[in-house]
């Protein structure tokens, strides 16, 4: 299933893909996100955290100017954010707000279970603004 939406006021393009369709783009981003853990803790083998979660089946993609952000979704909740480079908190808020509005218009769950504190806060604010409208 391939769904696109262009929000002219924010110049953000949103897309919804099966995870298998964009796996080749996601894997390098996930690996690069893991490198700082290795640098901080040395050999990361055997180091980890068990987090109960369904395996993501879909990816919501937000493309803004020259950045592409990915949000792993298991059809019930957004589980993980893969931001493209360093993104300011206010930019994350804008992207999340547009993404949540768009997902809501498609009747896709905008619930989230994100373990990164900042990302979780951003999506909590975005979903609270949407539900209060």
> Based on the structure, what is the number of domains in the chain?
1
Give the domain extent around 28: 3-131
What DSSP line would sit under 28-77, residue for residue? HHHHHHHHHHHHHHS--TT-------PPP-EEEEEEETTEEEEEEE-SS-
Q: What pLDDT shows up at residue 33?
A: 66
Q: What pLDDT shows up at residue 100?
A: 93
What pLDDT digit, counting tens, does each position of 68-120 carry?
A: 999 999 888 998 899 988 899 999 999 999 999 999 998 988 989 888 889 99
What pLDDT digit, counting tens, does each position of 20-37 carry?
A: 898 888 888 877 666 554
Q: What pLDDT shows up at residue 37?
A: 46
């Amino acid at each position: 299933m391939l769904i696109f939406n262009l929000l002219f006021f924010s110049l953000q393009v949103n897309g919804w893909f099966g995870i298998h369709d964009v796996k080749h783009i996601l894997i390098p981003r996930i690996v690069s996100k893991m490198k700082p853990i290795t640098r901080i803790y040395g050999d990361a083998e055997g180091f980890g955290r068990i987090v109960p979660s369904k395996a993501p089946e879909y990816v919501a993609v937000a493309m803004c100017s020259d950045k592409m952000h990915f949000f792993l979704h298991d059809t019930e909740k957004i589980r993980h954010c893969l931001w493209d480079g360093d993104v300011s908190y206010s930019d994350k808020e804008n992207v999340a707000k547009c993404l949540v509005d768009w997902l809501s218009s498609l009747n896709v769950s905008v619930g989230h279970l994100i373990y990164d504190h900042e990302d979780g806060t951003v999506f909590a604010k975005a979903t609270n603004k949407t539900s209060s409208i």
